[in-house]
Structure 1
Amino acid sequence: MFLTFVSAMIRRFVKDEEAASAIEYAVIATMVAIVVIAFVTPLGDAVKAKFNLILTNLGGTAI
């Protein structure tokens, strides 16, 4: 009885395409997040350096 139930659950899980789609979307979201982090971090450093240069030229102290 239990073995029949388990095998039916496994068959249903293998046929379920929504789980595969959810996993694909999670992988895509992770890849997008990695790309955003990779590009935003250097951009933020460049903007901070530019503001520090402006602040120093105006006679203030850098951040």
Structure 2
Amino acid sequence: MSLIKFFVLAQLKVEQFIKETEGASGIEYAIIAAMVAVIIIGFSSSIQNGISAIFTKIQAALPAASS
């Protein structure tokens, strides 16, 4: 195989690879899912603290309501 044939074949394979988009949507969904997971992990402590504060207020209000 000559060098020119090898170069043309490699160029065609690269162009074919660039045109393929079948796996692109799956990769995009994986990236979005990873970003959502990072956001949830980032806000989990503040969400947990907020929920804990709400239940603390409810717990403090319950004995006062029963007396």
Q: Normalising by structure 2, report the TM-score.
A: 0.50
Report what 1:8 is aligned to: 12
The size of the alignment, in residue pairs, is 48
Structure 1 unaligned segments of length 5 or more: list them.
51-63
Task: Say what the alpha-carbon RMSD is for the aligned residues.
Answer: 2.3
Instruction: List structure 1 segments (4+ residues) > 3 angstroms apart after TM superposition.
Output: none
Structure 2 unaligned segments of length 5 or more: list them.
56-67
Higher relative contact order (CA 8 A, sep 6+): 1
Alpha-carbon distance between aligned partners in 2 of 1:3 and 1:41, rounded to the nearest angstrom: 55
Alpha-carbon distance between aligned partners in 2 of 1:22 and 1:5, rounded to the nearest angstrom: 28
Pick one of 30, 36, 47 that aligns with 1:26: 30
Alpha-carbon distance between aligned partners in 1 of 2:40 and 2:8, rounded to the nearest angstrom: 47
Larger radius of gyration: 2
Matched letter for residue 13 of structure 2? M
**Percent identity between the two aligned chains:** 36
